[in-house]
Amino acid sequence: MSFHETFRIKRFLAQKQKQNCPIPQWICMKTGNKIRYNSKRKHWRRTNLGLQGVPHVKAPRITFHQVH
């Protein structure tokens, strides 16, 4: 029954893709600029979706250390 499993994954990914967009400009105007950006946006390389059953590789974070 892997056919149903892949459709569930595809539907999940489609939902996340739809959610990953900036807010419309009229919302900024309606709220008096209290809501300025979509806080739930994700970067494709920095954030995992936490999807079970799909192999994922998280990219290493690059950190800059100050030299003393």
Torsion sign over Cα 58, 43, 35, 51: negative
Instruction: List, for residues 11-28, the tens digit of each pLDDT value.
Output: 999 999 999 999 999 999
Q: Is the pLDDT confidence value at 2 over 70?
A: no
Structure tokens at 60: 């290493």
* 25-58 confidence digits (pLDDT tens): 999 999 999 999 999 999 988 888 887 665 555 5
Region of 47 (left: φ > 0; alpha: ψ -120 to 50; beta: rest) is: beta
On whether the pTM is more than 0.85, the answer is: no
Confidence check: pLDDT of 66 > 90? no
Give 3-state DSSP helix, strand, coil % of the chain, rounded to 5: 35, 0, 65
Q: CA-CA distances (angstroms) from residue 26 to 9, 22, 33?
A: 33, 12, 10
